[in-house]
């Protein structure tokens, strides 16, 4: 399926992973402070375009660093407030950020690949229709999350995974360019 053929309008919802999609991922480490948060190139411009196309934009992110005691809920809120403020300055908007603070080993349904964060978003925004939603992520768990919820899935990586993806791109800006 080619994203350039998707007819996206304000009835659609865009779900975005955070680390590796919006900001630079630190393999084996975490973004623990605002000072560690660095947008990937073109992300703010891409989200500005998405804001003109999609009715809602939601960030869904696993943040087990909280359960591991590496940073607090307050630290994460400061990071997300900064992220949202910078995106708004560039003309974009994030409607909500959902995060799962549990450890991977807890097998919480809130953690991706579980769809708890998608269900929480639907509870807060009842108009969300997963068949008119897109999940963009850079991991297999992101793709399983989107597929399990019934969304179209866009993979920001070139590795092969065990999930049938709908679109593969190198960046959010490339995905934004494919949409009308």
Active-site positions? 17, 19
Beta bridge partners of 167: 154
Question: CA-CA distance, 20 to 12, in Å (whole number)?
Answer: 23
CB-CB neighbours of 62 under 10 Å: 25
> Tokens 């509870």 correspond to what residue?
123
Return the DSSP state at 40.
P
Beta bridge partners of 97: 59
Beta bridge partners of 152: 134
For residue 69 the two structure tokens come to 């005691």
């Amino acid at each position: 399926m080619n994203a350039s053929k998707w007819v996206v309008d304000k009835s659609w919802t865009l779900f975005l992973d955070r680390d590796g999609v919006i900001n630079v991922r630190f393999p084996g480490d975490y973004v623990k402070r605002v000072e560690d948060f660095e947008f990937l190139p073109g992300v703010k411009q891409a989200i500005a375009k998405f804001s003109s196309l999609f009715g809602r934009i939601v960030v869904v992110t696993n943040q087990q660093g909280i359960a591991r005691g590496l940073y607090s809920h307050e630290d994460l809120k400061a990071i997300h407030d900064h992220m949202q403020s910078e995106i708004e300055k560039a003309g974009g908007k994030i409607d909500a950020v959902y995060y799962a603070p549990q450890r991977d080993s807890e097998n919480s349904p809130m953690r991706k690949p579980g769809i708890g964060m998608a269900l929480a978003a639907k509870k807060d925004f009842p108009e969300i229709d997963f068949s008119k939603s897109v999940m963009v992520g850079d991991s297999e768990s992101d793709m399983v999350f989107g597929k399990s919820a019934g969304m179209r899935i866009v993979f920001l990586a070139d590795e092969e995974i065990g999930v049938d993806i709908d679109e593969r791109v190198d960046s959010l800006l490339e995905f934004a360019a494919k949409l009308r």
